[in-house]
Structure 1
């Protein structure tokens, strides 16, 4: 860790410098951004949810400064999956006046070792490290540091060689999005290149990303978090996690979707609300979950997933992506008769049959960096342009 120089400024990391987090927890040495509030976290002891919501997808430090050098002390939590390929260090993206300028990582940190077969996890504390960006212009500029979307990140200190102040509000609309690991950003190249981040930039909006890997399960506490978060535009990507966790049957799914939408609408009665069904995922189109690690692939050092359900079980109400798409379309059509600001988007319009041959899902569940870019571009074209549900007023 570098030594603070006498002429440097150390700025406390406070909520007015962070965007995209719903809550900031004070720790012994710094702060930890959360994407679900404490009340929601207290209502579920699931380790996957705890990990996902603490990974700061879409969370970024945003400030105005003349600084030419910026240092950030952070303690990341790295994930290790025994038997699977090592995961690269999380990436921090530096944007200056909205333009991608540099990238970096923080070595070291704590380690969370997760058994893919049982889900058992072991946490080992580790040291903090320092991220350094140098050689910036000495002009006044808006700086954004996007935190790793897939690495829990405790923020300890922000140092600069010139004073820092919160960046001014640019008056942009706020887009609040909820979805699964694909929305969270699994297998994207960096935090500012997850598909929601790319779509937000094209749409000229401020993103709050509540994509929660493995945890988009129609939980009431998540609906309340969405309800209570100020936003101008909302989208809900529903389906994949319900299949790959094999959490519920069709009888429970339909009223759960209605209840989730009812709760969100309590806080956002007239905001454009877009319900997005799953992108194409061949292993679960007609085969129910759960998803399971492919042990044969793990034996060769590759991480892949397979559908462990039986297609015949659809008759007993088990969910597949096809079943969910049909039911979501029906629910939205039913509700839209009384809710003119409710919209539906078939996820296959973002990634569908024609894309599979060109850009297959490497592990059978998650898109790679190129596919995130394609999904982000298509979502922006379908949602934010003149004919889309998120079109600016007067467009």
Structure 2
């Protein structure tokens, strides 16, 4: 007869990849990837949603359990006129190997009508994820939470004691970027490109990739400054273009200020600036970017650039302009900062990749492209001669 499942203490000590864990009204934990003081300075609903989606966040513990159950309350998104999104995926990793996957149905639902700009919230109930058939030996277990669903952790049960996983002593890689780093359109949380690169390089990932939120916000820079890390990278550009947020006059000084702030807390840490991957709609056409509502008739969401290429003469940003200015800023700073590096994002995904693995919505890589980007990042950045080779 199998032993009964016993509740485990659901404490922040079990979490990796989160900067804070908020206690909820039902006594659960809500992981956050920005600290409370930074969230208080934010007024953007998109960033509020993105930072609460636990990309790169996982429960990590050591146990002999053969059965593990996790109760969660997910918040799912639905878009009017677009086919339903699949439930978020949880990845079970045991002793470094992906062993199983699962989902939690139900939960809250936020329905977005992009043609009207409205949001509707439908409350839901928690669900249960169950992994069984595990061997009874001592093992290191990680449950990676869905990268694209806000996830409140409600309860944890197992048929053997659960202890927080000890620090393995691996270098911590702190990364900040946009929805591509967040994992948009990746197959699962361990298949987002930063997770793939971290696994290949043997480093501990702390992912501050925020869908729609890589905007050179000062509170994000201060968060990066104050977060202990052995390696730091920032991927800058696409959100500034598709939100049409600033002009060239403001962009260069803003990048300098962002890097200055990071360097206050990490004066000699290897610091990598990554420019945008190829995105043809915004290479020479400024933002804003917006959903192409005509594509909804086919049940597929695509994006289009609404700017005028002629406006580049007036300081509007395109991806070509962004790359040129980032190269200038990094070259200027690197003369006195030998651990500052630049990677052209087109080395990760360029024209040949777009021809083979086009962006399905004209903005985000698919699962196969995430894998390619992750493999190339690991090779070019963590490999011989790379910015993080001496980790």
TM-score range, shorter chain: over 0.9
Out of 76, 79, 82, the residue aligned to residue 81 of structure 1 is 79
Q: Where do residues 1-395 of structure 1 align in structure 2 (5 Å cutoff)?
A: 7-29=4-26, 30-392=28-390
* Structure 2 SS opposite 1:176: strand
Equivalent-residue separation in structure 1 for 2:309 and 2:161 (angstroms):
61
Q: Quickly say closer, same or farther: Cα 1:390–1:119, change in 2 above 3 A.
A: farther
Per-residue deviation, residues 38-86 of structure 1 (Å, max 9, x unmatched): 1111111211000000000000000000000000000000101111121
For residues 107 and 96 of structure 1, what CA distance do their matches in structure 2 show?
23
Does the 8 A contact of 1:85 with 1:303 survive in 2?
A: no
User: 1:82-129: per-residue Cα shift (whole Å, max 9, x none)?
Assistant: 111211100000000000000000000001112223543222211000
Query: Distance between the aligned counterparts of 1:343 and 1:163, measured in 2?
Result: 45
Counterpart CA distance in 2 for 1:6 and 1:171 is 34
Say which SS state the counterpart of residue 356 (structure 2) adopts. coil
Question: How many pairs does the alignment contain?
Answer: 389
Distance 2:120 2:338 in 1: 48
Cα shift readout 1:201-222 (whole Å, capped 9, x = no counterpart): 0110000000000010000000
- Determine if contact 2:286/2:316 at 8 Å carries over to the other structure: yes
- SS of 1:42's partner is helix
Gaps of 5+ in 1: none
Deviations 1:16-47 (A, max 9, x none): 11000000000011110000011111111211
CA shift at 1:191, angstroms?
A: 0.2
What SS does the corresponding residue of 2:41 show, helix, strand or coil?
A: coil
Contact (CA 8 Å) 1:187, 1:367: kept in 2 or not?
Answer: yes
| Aligned CA distance change for structure 1 residues 280 and 110 (closer, same or farther; 3 Å) | same
CA positional deviation for 1:8 = 2.1
1-side partners of 2:270 and 2:9: how far apart?
A: 36
Q: CA RMSD in A?
A: 1.0
TM-score, normalised to structure 2, is 0.98
Runs of 5+ unmatched residues, structure 2: none
What SS class does the counterpart of residue 144 from structure 1 fall into? strand
Q: Name the CA distance, whole Å, in 1 between partners of 2:149 and 2:23.
A: 18
